Amino acid sequence: MDQPVRELSYAQAIQEAMAIAMEQDERVFLMGEDIGVYGGAFQVTGDLVERFGADRVIDTPISELGGAGVAVGAAVTGLRPIFEFQFSDFATLAMEQIVNQAAKMRYMLGGAVSVPVVMRFPAGSGTGAAAQHSQSLEAWLGHVPGLKVIQPATPHDAKGMLLAAVADPDPVMIFEHKLLYKMKGPVPEGYYTVPIGKAEIRRQGRDLTIVATSIMVHKALDAAETLEAEGIDVEVVDLRTIRPMDTQTVIDSVKKTSRLLCVYEGVKTLGVGAEVSAAIAESDAFDFLDAPIVRLGGAETPIPYNPELEKATVPQVPDIIKAARDLVSGRR
């Protein structure tokens, strides 16, 4: 029997996923700065402390390294922590625990232990939070063997991928774009999962493949509507998972459209789009290309505080439209 579907915001979907996980498994608990009575920096945890108590919704000191270390240690000893960073930028303070401990323990101990920790990172620009609170660092963590890195773009996927992450035996890093928290969409009731490591085709097309991540999926879909009116039929692939990346879905799409545009908010150099481009260049899809692959990523600069400058540093819908036009017309 199909589960009833309602409209929830992205933030509500995440909160519901955490509540379901905690109801089903007493080993699941939440950690993070101000996630208790305050409800989280972006109000995602909401009233969960009232529902589950302060021993399972734990306010941590202002020490990302310490909090991440406790979460990793708890996971190794059999618990299933979900650790929230106030901003994804603060992952930089916990890299020792994320990169040297969580990612490597299973390997270094010959598979004798697993590290089922979930870490949530509110990420991205658009809130006027300036250079130290607006970055997109998913490519950093995507470079590390042993970690799984996901970027849900819809409320449906935010809930289903978080539940899949909680059930996963390995550390899963979830990057949640801050501008998506208020976005609403259909979300089934009850428990369900969305597979980690599987991309989703959000729009079928024949002239151009746009591979996008997180909020850029929605910008790509908006651009595709404008381009459709001009006779350009765009296929939009939501990558969803950075590591392990579903390159086969991208390869199949490029074979159909013969053109590829990668759109992502992180800095262009060494970003997610570089890996997607390399995967196509190294596959048999390369022979199907009618134009060079194009990457449309963030500018080579810290994120400015000024709202107009902030917008200018990351791809916007008009930028995607122009890049797509140029690709299809042969101007790129």
Identified catalytic residue from 16, 133, 200, 235:
133
Is residue 218 part of the annotated active site? The answer reads no
Q: Which of 229, 226, 228, 256 is nearest to 237 (CA)?
A: 256
Residue 277 is predicted with a pLDDT of 98
Between CA 37 and CA 182 the distance in angstroms is: 21
Query: How much is the pTM?
Result: 0.96
The CATH number of domain 5-188 is 3.40.50.11540: no
Question: Under a CB-based contact definition with an 8 Å cutoff, are residues 205 and 234 in contact?
Answer: yes
What are the backbone dihedrals phi and psi of residue 219, each rounded to the nearest 5 degrees, phi first? -65, -40
Mean pLDDT per 10-residue segment, the chain (332 residues): 83 98 98 93 94 96 95 97 96 97 96 97 95 96 98 98 98 98 97 98 98 98 97 98 98 98 97 97 97 97 95 97 94 66
Q: How far is CA 193 from CA 23, 294, 319, in A?
A: 16, 33, 34
- Whether 133 is catalytic: yes
* Location of each CATH 3.40.50.970 domain in the chain: 5-188
CATH topology for 200-329 is Rossmann fold (3.40.50)
CATH 3.40.50.920 segments of the chain: 200-329
Q: With contact defined as beta carbons under 8 Å apart, do 263 and 212 qualify? A: yes
Catalytic residue chosen out of the listed positions 64, 176, 265, 275: 64
In sequence order, what are the residues at sequence separation of 6 or more whose Cβ sits closer than 8 angstroms to the Cβ of residue 327?
Answer: 208, 259, 261, 291, 294
pLDDT at 150 (0 to 100): 98
